[in-house]
Each structure stands twice: as structure tokens, then as C-alpha cells.
A = this chain, B = another copy of it.
């Protein structure tokens, strides 16, 4: 049960629960280049809804990955930025990114081959 690196309470599982959703990874990636305002993040991460953006941003702040800075001006200006911890996390995430760029074509090829194999075209 416990003690096994794959059981429910291990750090890896917990991290996975956090970064498991692609939004987190994408947001952290988007912020690597520097702070961004709420709307800017939303634009970089295409397809994310406002609600989910808000939720994800908030939980990343909660986890110490991002800092939120609200400037008391009108209209409101809020910026999100990676913390040192966040920048730290960005590194392994970047490795994944590199892997994707280097190997996704292999995955695509494997997928096509598998589908061909399992799709009796000449039925």
C-alpha cells in the first residue's frame, strides 16, 4: 500500500494532480518569458475559458508557482508571474516540451501504423 512510489499519497501523484491538466503546463510555459496580464495569458493559451483560466491561475498562486500582483488603477491591471519555485518547475516542463517537439512525429507515425494494422481496409 503506502511506501510504493505509485500509491495515492506520493509526491509524484500530487504533482500530477496539479500539472495533470494541460492548462497548468501551458500557463507556466506562457509565463516563462515574463509576467503577463490576465487577458494576455488567456490569449497565449488558446481555447481556455475565462472560468478555467481564473481557476487555474488561482490554484497556481495558491501552490506558490505564481505570484499575482494587482495594481490599484482603473481599469484594473493584474499581472501574473512565475515565482522562483515556478521557474524551477518550468525546467522539467520544458524538457517535456522539447521531447514533444522532437518525438511527436514518431508518435504520429506509430499511431498511423497501429490504426492501419487494426483497420482491415481490405475487408
User: A residues touching B (Cβ–Cβ < 8 Å)?
Assistant: 1, 4-8, 10-22, 25-26, 29-30, 44-47, 61-65, 85, 88-89, 91-93, 95-101, 103-104, 106-107, 109-111, 113-115
Contacts and interface: CB of A to CB of B under 8 A. Distances in A.
Contacts of A46: 1, 4, 6-8
B64 A89 contact: no
A54 to B, nearest CB: 15
A49 B109 CA distance: 29
Contact of A106 (B6, B16, B21, B64): B64
Contact of A17 (B22, B44, B63, B64): B22
Chain A at the B interface: SS class: helix
B97 A95 contact: no
